Structure 1
Amino acid sequence: MLRHAFSRILLAVSALVCAAAELPAADRPNIIWIMADDLGYGDLGCFGQKVIQTPNLDRMAMEGMKFSHFYAGATVCAPSRSVLMTGLHHGHTRVRGNAGKTNPAAQALKEGDVTVAKVLKDAGYKTALIGKWGLGDVGEAETGLPRKQGFDYFYGYLNQTHAHNHFPDYLWRNETKEPLSNIVSPLGENGGGYATDPVHFSDDLFADEALKFVEENKASPFFIYWSLVVPHANNERTRELKDGAEVPDYGPYADKDWPNPDKGQAAMITRLDSYVGRMLKLLKAQGLAEKTLVIFTSDNGPHNESNHDLTRFAPSGPYTGIKRSLTDGGIRVPLIAWWPGKIKAGLETRHVASFADWMATAAELADAKVPEKTDSISFVPTLMSNGAKQEQHEFLYWEFHEGGFKQAALYQGRWKGIRAEGSDALVALYDQQNDVEEKTNVAAENPDIAAKIGEYLKTARTDSADWEPRWKAEGKKKKK
């Protein structure tokens, strides 16, 4: 434990040293982090998609930099966002799974947690969260409310069940419920349901709100965490109507000879693409493009919850698995970085990074301090095409609590180890460099590497009363 704590301190100090060398304080950019929900690595044209149209994001990639080896914080929503906000990997961050209504406090950030929004706010940035949160709610989980976690302004959904409904009858503006004219058929708790009379599509409202925030705050540095809901399914609508791809219209896919869920899934992604196009156009029109870093990514791998056909779109690209998988299809996500005049156009990097690295990256850009406890390594040197200064991770780490505790680690950017239930279970080892589909377990041929990853997995996580591995919790019960 002391060794891991010391290494995190060294990373934080190193990030501060790099900050002084890489980017003068006068060049602090505005920062916009745009994140799709359940968008796969292969869902964008610039990452290999052949069917769905994404012209704006493809242009963004041509004008900026693609990360081909970028990883989400987790394979599902809440913990991935917790890693993003805290700069702590999945075994250290506060929220490690989707607790939902059964234990909302376990899915909330707490007082004393340090988010990237707090770091940027303390550095003089205006901070806004627009869209889906998932790390705090009214009631038992209010310690995690956005404005208690560093955001000056919030507009959107607090909990993810409410966010299933793309046509809700209310959204939150700060801590106030703001009614919408959609007529909703409620299902379950926490705002779940679907609209029987849809009028206002939430992501349309979020796009308007994000653009408005830019126009109103262009005189000072700002940070927008624009957390889209598309192309996440409306799970309740899928159960009731067999079609969870809830979207105002099917756009260019209306005349396709496809089932409606397929049309809706494609239309959500193309609609998302249009939002990004609007933002980049606004930044150019306002003279802010050269002063603003825009990053686009997704919170985890693609879903299969709209009743759409995965084979039509191949959303995981060349990788195996989808959301809830620890193979790369569940955790490797597209990332595009755009900053005209700073990031060279048309580049692709193989630098291995993850959501945890956003903390150190944002802090360096803002000339701010990285929290003392961190698993974050800034990728600013990569953005600035200064690879010689880029630090590398020895390990990336993930875990998953649904259906039995599992762990995974990526070692040296190449070797993926996955361990199923039980602290001493054997590690399945995959050579991601030569087997991107993770089809062949090579642990027997590489016992030293498998053993090294296995030892790391034993010490990678800190204990959390809210997120104990099932085998460990059951062991405690037996002792009693």
Structure 2
Amino acid sequence: MIKWMVVGLVFACGAFADVDGASRSPNILLIISDDQGYGDFGFTGNKVVQTPTLDRLSRESAFYLHFVVGPACTPTRASLFAGRHHLDMGVWGVGSRGRVRRDETLMPKFFSPSGYAAWAFGKMDGGLHMMEMTPIDRGFDSFLPGAGYAQRNKQGWGAELITDAAVEKIRQAGDKPWLAYVGYVIPHLDWYCPESYAEPFRKKGYSEDIAQCYGSIKQMDDQIARLLKAVKETGQAENTIVLFMSDNGSLDAMGQQEMGVWENAKPKNPHSPDWGIRNPGNLIGRKGEVWDNGIRSPLEHITIVMP
């Protein structure tokens, strides 16, 4: 399904300039969260998490209820960037199993011949280097990793650092079309967020895990709001395609430690006390499994950012 999303984007960008008198190809803002399960959104039925920006996008967008991704981050991102099945690219897992072949053509090189600037912010994969090569080697014009796989470094919170950089690029873009990939490392373990985001969940009696995990998701939602505001304030709203997705399902954890609950395990370990909160639809599976809760991701696609 990811393959056809990429193919559709390429065709849409080629045709968009002829629609409604648009003078050039549209900008593309692609936002990806990390390990955010299908149930970790208000618009999918979760009454605890706070995702007002993404909830609004779901109402204003083409919302794909049954969009399917890979069961882990690297397979999903490899397929997304190349428009090909990850196994055909040499990717069958993460780490040493997630190295895309060097001769693969990835997303920015599909768009650069049409005059696009291509920017990458945040998590790619393989740490600071993307699949044995840097993002610049793969065709991006600029790359900012943020805090890497940590939520915070000496410069500040990773979600805010990459958003700052993306907003700056959007404001400086001028008339040249752009492709901006923004990859948040939220809510991947370790769950860790500013106290101002965690404390409201604590006050409602939720566990420290929920306070940190869902606090970080609210932090990310606020950063996405900043991205959309920048697009609108620079007058680019009606010529920008915005997409949001998660890379795979949620991971059951307690005290920052993975619970290791697998559907086919005998005997099966119990879920954490918070699993019902994170999986309100009671979907089967988790990250790493090809059950619904491991591979089902909400995809939001909007071609005009509404006020």
| TM-score between the two structures when normalised by the length of structure 1 | 0.54
Deviation at 1:90, TM superposition (A): 2.9
Higher relative contact order (CA 8 A, sep 6+): 2
1:273 is matched with 221
Q: Distance in 2 between matches of 1:338 and 1:19?
A: 12
* Residues 378-399 of structure 1 deviation map (CA, whole Å, 9 limit, x = unaligned): xxxxxxxxxxxxxxxxxxxxxx
Residues 54-69 of structure 1 correspond to what in structure 2 (within 5 A)? 54-69=51-66
The residue identity in structure 2 corresponding to 1:226 is V
Task: Work out which of the residue numbers 42, 48, 51 in structure 1 matches 2:48.
Answer: 51
Q: Distance in 1 between matches of 2:24 and 2:200?
A: 41
- CA separation of 1:24 and 1:221: change in aligned 2, threshold 3 A: closer
3-state SS in 2 of match to 1:264: helix
The residue identity in structure 2 corresponding to 1:86 is A
Q: Distance in 2 between matches of 1:136 and 1:20?
A: 30
Task: Work out which of the residue numbers 319, 323, 333 in structure 1 matches 2:297.
Answer: 333
Deviation at 1:78, TM superposition (A): 1.3
Query: In percent, how many aligned pairs have the same letter?
Result: 29
3-state SS in 1 of match to 2:140: coil
Deviation at 1:91, TM superposition (A): 2.5
* Residues 396-453 of structure 1 deviation map (CA, whole Å, 9 limit, x = unaligned): xxxxxxxxxxxxxxxxxxxxxxxxxxxxxxxxxxxxxxxxxxxxxxxxxxxxxxxxxx
3-state SS in 2 of match to 1:337: strand
3-state SS in 2 of match to 1:206: helix
Unpaired runs of 5+ residues, structure 2, are: 258-271
* RMSD, aligned CA: 2.8
* Residues 19-69 of structure 1 deviation map (CA, whole Å, 9 limit, x = unaligned): 699534545210010000000112111121111111111111122221101
1:23 is matched with 16
**Are residue 85 (structure 1) and residue 81 (structure 2) matched?**
yes
Q: Distance in 1 between matches of 2:300 and 2:233?
A: 21
Residues 174-213 of structure 1 correspond to what in structure 2 (within 5 A)? 180=154, 200-213=156-169
2:194 is matched with 248
1:400 is matched with none
* Residues 430-478 of structure 1 deviation map (CA, whole Å, 9 limit, x = unaligned): xxxxxxxxxxxxxxxxxxxxxxxxxxxxxxxxxxxxxxxxxxxxxxxxx
Q: Note if contact 1:70-1:333 (Cα within 8 Å) is conserved in structure 2.
A: yes
- CA separation of 1:108 and 1:311: change in aligned 2, threshold 3 A: closer
The residue identity in structure 2 corresponding to 1:230 is I
Q: Distance in 1 between matches of 2:106 and 2:294?
A: 24
1:184 is matched with none
2:180 is matched with 224
3-state SS in 2 of match to 1:263: helix
Residues 27-426 of structure 1 correspond to what in structure 2 (within 5 A)? 27-72=24-69, 74-99=70-95, 103=96, 106-135=97-126, 143-156=132-145, 163-168=148-153, 180=154, 200-234=156-190, 245-249=191-195, 250=198, 252-305=200-253, 306-307=256-257, 309-315=273-279, 317-340=281-304
Q: Distance in 1 between matches of 2:139 and 2:182?
A: 15
The residue identity in structure 2 corresponding to 1:311 is W
- CA separation of 1:220 and 1:318: change in aligned 2, threshold 3 A: farther
Unpaired runs of 5+ residues, structure 1, are: 1-7, 169-179, 182-199, 235-244, 346-480
Q: Distance in 2 between matches of 1:110 and 1:30?
A: 28
The residue identity in structure 1 corresponding to 2:145 is G
Q: Note if contact 2:53-2:221 (Cα within 8 Å) is conserved in structure 1.
A: yes
| TM-score between the two structures when normalised by the length of structure 2 | 0.82
Q: Distance in 1 between matches of 2:179 and 2:13?
A: 21
Deviation at 1:88, TM superposition (A): 0.8
